[in-house]
Structure 1
Amino acid sequence: MAEESRTVAASCTEAGVDQLQFLRDKLQKFQSKIMGDFEQRLSCMIEDVMQDVRQQELRAQEFRQFDTSRGRANHASATWHNRQQQAFATAAENDVRDCPNGRAHAQNETTAKHEQQQPQQRKDRTRRQLPDKVFVARESYLTALLQVEHMRTIYHIFSIILVMFLMNVIFYDYFVEGRINLGLGTFRTGLKRLHWVLGAWLLEHVFVLALYYAFQGWALVRVKLQTHKSLQRFWSHSCLILYMSAQFAFGYVSTSLCLKFQLPFISACVLLLESTRLLMKMHAYVRYNAARVVQGKQKTDDYGELKDARPYLPPLRCYVYFLFAPTLIYRDTYPRTKQIRWKFALARLMEVVAIAFFYASIHERHIREYFGQFGKEPLGPSQVIVKVFGMMLPSAVILLCGFYMILHSWLNFTAELLRFGDRMFYKDWWTSHTYDGYYRNWNVVVHDWLYEYVYRDLYTYVFKGSKVVASLLVFMISALVHEQVLGFGLQLFFPVMFMFFGVLGVALVFLMRSAPKTLGNICIWFTLIIGNGMMISLYSMEYYAKRNCDLRYERWTDYITPAIWRCYH
């Protein structure tokens, strides 16, 4: 009996030892896994810190322009930021010769604004206060980067690549086709009826100038009706309805002219983009100065003393300067440069011309070569895949060159001629690791307008602090405008841009917010190249399919059904 007990005890002990050994092994594996993950995360964090230190050293040594602003050491931290919680009056401290009363009115408006916002801040303590737009005299990112020898060398390399590409086009045209074209056929076709566009552009500016005097009339009548509040409200509401109707009519006429005159793509895009720009300018002027009139801003002299009971309205020269300035945010004054650098302006203009010829060559050697016979030739899935992926790299070049031509070269050229000081038309979007940062930094000019006059009003007055809903509505408006320009420019209904920008782009905003920096930046570039290649390919297919196929439009569904589908089905 005792021996059996010892046997049972020994077996229980062995089972317990086995269980303890099993548990010990599991704990050791768990500990090693935890330590491995911890060491990996720690090494990544150390690498990020060391990378930030190296970047700081590089900025301190090579990129000095990113740490100090010329003559503004006290505002060095705001050099590459365009918003602050309380905007300092940088613009009013600069050249105000265009608007003599600008400094006094800016000071009075700042004081009155703070006094009026105090009760509202106490009332809405839980609501996040949105920062204000700040204008500072500064260069563009690439202008500052190209002052460094390393970056200037990369610029020279890309310039030589562009020259070699153009030489390739010249040799191909001469030895294969027997003539030198240089993409002039694309210009001749795309710029047809440009005189109609110029005439429409002049008439649009007449309308824009008429808005200035109409706004003055509304403001003066409103002041005279101060003792009759009901009549004042009726007058303001009637003018608001008239203003909104005029804006819709302005946009409708510009789009209908593209269809009426059968404008080619380049001419149509010029008219549509210029009309959109003027619409945004007019709304910026009305929105900014209507707040002055409603708040009771009155006309003062150069010393800030009240002159009469008339509301303060900026003179016509301020409005005209704003119409041509490379910004969509209205201010009475902006930072101004002391002189025009003609060599700098000529270099930017030559870049615009060179990239325009480069675009024409890409159209003739790639887009028309791949999709010119679309709708006539037999086509299967394999041919479509080959054509789409063949357009990936040319589409990436189109994206990068379009950014450089419009947001850097053209805007810097116009800013230099107008001595406009704030050249931050974009930020370092190429380093973005989230789509939030990409959309904010890609086109600062348009983003500032959407933020100032759409997002802030929706956030403050419509959705009462709902950031997500206001952001989604801004995305939808931006996607619709982009689709409107492309749709009427190509004269087709094919909402690929809206789906890519307004649906997939919004989804990627939320999906990539928690992505690591390196992986997020790789994903952004991958999706940009893939998405831009697919979008250009799909629009090219639809455009040439509509031209090459003999399609009948008998029902309303024929207008919204893609020509790609109708051609091959």
Structure 2
Amino acid sequence: MEADTPKNGDSLWVKQEIDKIQSHFVSELHRIEGDFNEHFTALNNEFQVRQPKLSEIPLLKKSTREIKESRIFIPRNSVLTDLFQISHIQTLRNVFAATLIILFLHDTIEGIVNDGRLNLDFDVMFESFGKLHIALFIWLLMQLATSILVFFGVYWWANSRNSFKKNLKAYDMAWLFSYISYLIIFLVLPCYQIEKHQFPVASALIVLLEQMRQMMKAHSFVRENIRKNLLLIESKNASVCPDYSKYLYFLFAPTLIYKDEYPRTTTIHWDYVLRMFGQVLASAFYAYYVVERFCLPIFSDLSQNEITLPIFISVLFNSIMPGSLFLLLIFYGFLHCWLNAFAEMLRFADRMFYQDWWNSTSFANYYRTWNIVVHDWLHAYVYRELYVLMGKKNRAIPSICVILLSAVFHEYVMFFALGFFYPVMFILFGVVGLAFLFLIPRNPGPVFNIMIWLFLLIGIGLETCFYFMESFARKICPPSDLFWDKIMPRSFVCHIVSPASKLLRVDL
């Protein structure tokens, strides 16, 4: 036995040395990868500098050169794609997967014990996606309008402009009026169909989010090609319009900034595409179980109680956990899995759809890093345009306009998706969030990161609490034909006596 002790000690020493070598090898690989990415980025930036830029042309104002240029697309992975190469980070995703399995087992076993059969009805999910065939038909019509009318409108404008040199201003104004009319019609008709068919929330969100996406893509295509053609005409060159295939690629590419060319990968990994779509489906089922297990029991019981301040506070804090899960599921299911799946299918190499927003120490950084796809569009076509008009001394006003515009359209989507006006998101996003944008200093450190997470979780808890309260109040309280019924929160004004002789109201 004594002779075995040195051998065990030697084997332990060898294992420790191997672990050290492996750790050193991995760190060296990460260092080499970082150096390679740094040199590649520097090379790409140097290449961009050597190319003729629009800001160097006298037609554009000098102030446009004083802010960041539009998005430069380079091959890169999403942040989580790289982080999931680390086993410790991948374990966090495995924990969420295990939790989903537990929720499924709980629902299955409970159905067998209580009803003697499997309870796999998914009533809430099917109800949310009701009338899906009508919603998909409306989406198809919107897609055809964006694919055909927008492209050929720009094509005819560019190629017929030289024939109207004597009435060039009137010609451009007529096309501008046509474009604005198209946007108004594109905004109004889908909303009319949502109200006409009374779409449930998920089907309405499909139409509304696709409406927003296609409008932003159409505006980017129009804006970029008009600018290009005006510069060509100024330099006395012939007007051009890109190939239709490039426009169709842009319509489905996971970006809202139009370019004639994007960096492309060499191959398509279909197993990766299937995994991403599978995780999107898993995120949808996760959201279903969160609603079924954590939201419906809380808010359905409110019809039996008078909602006093203590009850409201209890419901609010009970809403923070499901609300935070909704936030993470939307981020992971859409911004990571869905966009990466389309990027892989289209060989779109730039996968920077978000950045490390979870490390934000200010709301300004959070707004910039949460959704890079939408942020790029807002920066290019709202912030920069307003900055050029107002000058460099008014940087705060374009920022305020960007936040308010984003808040308005977030509330617009919620209004038509839920079927009632309850401006919780606008107030939290466009008022409170805007105040925090300027009041909270941009200091690094864990304290400010904790503060951002604290405000974020309370805000998402408030949104979950108020929207679910109002949804249940509108199911229980009788509707009114008055106009104010759509915009007045019924959870505040409804006084219906329940079987337990209680009032459904908010008494704060």
Q: 1:59 to 1:560 in 2, by over 3 A?
A: farther
Distance verdict in 2 for CA 1:188–1:114, change over 3 Å: closer
Residues 275 and 406 of structure 1: CA distance in aligned 2, closer, same or farther (over 3 Å): same
Aligned to 2:8: none
Aligned to 1:222: 161
1:125-153 residue CA offsets vs partner (Å, 9 max, x unmatched): 9x833333110111100001111222223
Instruction: Give the letter for the 1:262 counterpart.
Output: Q
Residue 445 (structure 1) shift: 0.4
Mapped contact 1:433–1:524 kept (Cα < 8 A):
yes
The 2-side partners of 1:158 and 1:214 are apart by: 48
Confirm or deny: 8 A CA contact 1:67 1:76 kept in the other structure. no
Amino acid at match of 1:171: I
Q: What is the CA–CA distance in structure 1 between the aligned matches of 2:111 and 2:373, rounded to whole Å?
A: 39
Structure 1 residue runs of 5 or longer lacking an equivalent are 1-56, 90-106, 299-305
Counterpart pick for 2:131 among 169, 188, 193: 193
Query: Is the partner of 2:470 in helix, strand or coil?
Result: helix
Question: Residues of 2 paired with 1:118 and 1:272: CA distance?
Answer: 37
Q: Which residue of 2 aligns with 1:54?
A: none
Q: Is contact 1:67-1:77 (8 Å) kept?
A: no
Question: What residue ranges of structure 2 are gaps of 5+ in the alignment?
Answer: 1-23, 496-504
Distance 1:295 1:76 in 2: 29
Alignment of 1:247 with 2:183, yes or no, is yes
1:161 aligns with 2:114: no
Cα offset for 1:361?
1.2
Larger RCO of the pair (alpha carbons < 8 Å, separation 6+): 2
Give the Cα–Cα distance (whole angstroms) in 1 for the partners of residues 38 and 361 of structure 2.
30
User: Would the alpha carbon gap of residues 518 and 168 (structure 1) be closer, same or farther in structure 2, given more than 3 Å must change?
Assistant: same
Q: Do structure 1's residue 344 and structure 2's residue 272 form an aligned pair?
A: yes
**What SS does the corresponding residue of 1:296 show, helix, strand or coil?**
helix
Aligned equivalents of 1:262, 1:459: Cα separation in 2: 41
- What CA distance in whole angstroms lies between the structure 2 residues aligned with 1:549 and 1:374? 13
| Alignment partner, residue 402 of structure 2 | 474
Q: 1:200 to 1:117 in 2, by over 3 A?
A: same
Summarize the alignment of residues 211-290 of structure 1 with structure 2, pairs less than 5 Å apart.
211-226=150-165, 228=166, 231-290=167-226
Partner in structure 2 of residue 74 of structure 1: 39
After superposition, the Cα gap between the structure-2 partners of 1:329 and 1:391, relative to the gap in structure 1 and judged at 3 Å, is: same
Q: Which residue of 2 aligns with 1:520?
A: 448
How far residue 282 of structure 1 moved from its aligned partner, in angstroms, is 0.2
SS at match of 1:359: helix
Is 1:452 paired with 2:380? yes
Q: CA deviation at 1:187?
A: 2.1
Give the superposition deviation at 1:58: 12
| Aligned counterpart in structure 2 of residue 535 of structure 1, from 450, 463, 476 | 463
Q: Deviation digits for residues 294-324 of structure 1, max 9, x if unmatched?
A: 11269xxxxxxx9x96411101000000000
Aligned equivalents of 2:396, 2:327: Cα separation in 1? 28
Q: Deviations over 1:533-554 (max 9, x none)?
A: 1111100001110111114233
Distance 1:63 1:537 in 2: 44
Q: Which residue of 2 aligns with 1:420?
A: 348
What is the SS of the residue equivalent to 2:48?
Answer: coil
How far 1:73 moved relative to its partner?
5.7
Q: Helix, strand or coil: the match of 2:159? A: helix
Look up the SS of the partner of 2:57 in the other structure. Answer: helix
TM-score using structure 2 length: 0.86
Q: Which stretch shows the higher mean deviation, 190-199 or 492-501?
A: 190-199
Query: Could you say if the C-alpha distance between residues 507 and 87 of structure 1 is closer, same or farther in structure 2, counting changes exceeding 3 Å?
Result: farther
Comparing 265-274 with 542-551, greater Cα deviation is found at: 542-551
User: Structure 1 residues 342 and 500 mapped into 2: Cα distance closer, same or farther (>3 Å)?
Assistant: same
1:427-442 residue pairs with structure 2 within 5 A? 427-442=355-370
Structure number with greater Rg is 1
Find the aligned partners of 2:415 and 2:478 in 1 and give their Cα distance: 20
Q: Is the 8 A contact 1:183 1:357 kept in 2?
A: no
Task: Give the equivalent residue in structure 2 for 1:565.
Answer: 492
Q: Write the distance in 2 (CA, Å) between the matches of 1:360 and 1:438.
A: 27
- State the percentage of identical aligned residues: 33
Instruction: State the alpha-carbon separation in 2 of the partners of residues 236 and 153 from structure 1.
Output: 57
**In 1: Cα distance, 2:490 partner to 2:302 partner:** 10
Contact 1:215 1:286 in 2 (8 A): yes
Q: Which deviations, in whole Å up to 9, do the C-alpha atoms of 1:151-174 show, x marking residues without a partner? A: 223332332233223222322333
8 A Cα contact 1:318 1:332, kept in partner:
yes
TM-score, length of structure 1 as denominator length: 0.78
Distance 1:474 1:112, change over 3 A: closer
Amino acid corresponding to residue 128 of structure 1 in structure 2: E
Displacement of 1:375 in angstroms is: 4.4
> Residue 80 of structure 2 aligns with which residue?
142
C-alpha displacement of 1:514: 4.3
Cα displacement (A) at 1:567: 1.4
1:319-358 deviation per Cα after TM superposition (whole angstroms, max 9, x unaligned)? 0000000000100111111111112111111101111111
Q: 1:380 offset after TM fit, Å?
A: 2.5
Matched, 1:511 2:447: no
Alpha-carbon distance between aligned partners in 2 of 1:112 and 1:64, rounded to the nearest angstrom: 33
Aligned to 1:365: 293
Hey, what's the Cα distance between the residues in 2 that align with 1:444 and 1:65? 27
Q: 1:133 to 1:548 in 2, by over 3 A?
A: same
Residue 542 and residue 236 in structure 1: after superposition, are their counterparts in 2 closer, same or farther (change >3 A)?
same
Residue from 82, 88, 94 that aligns with 2:48: 88
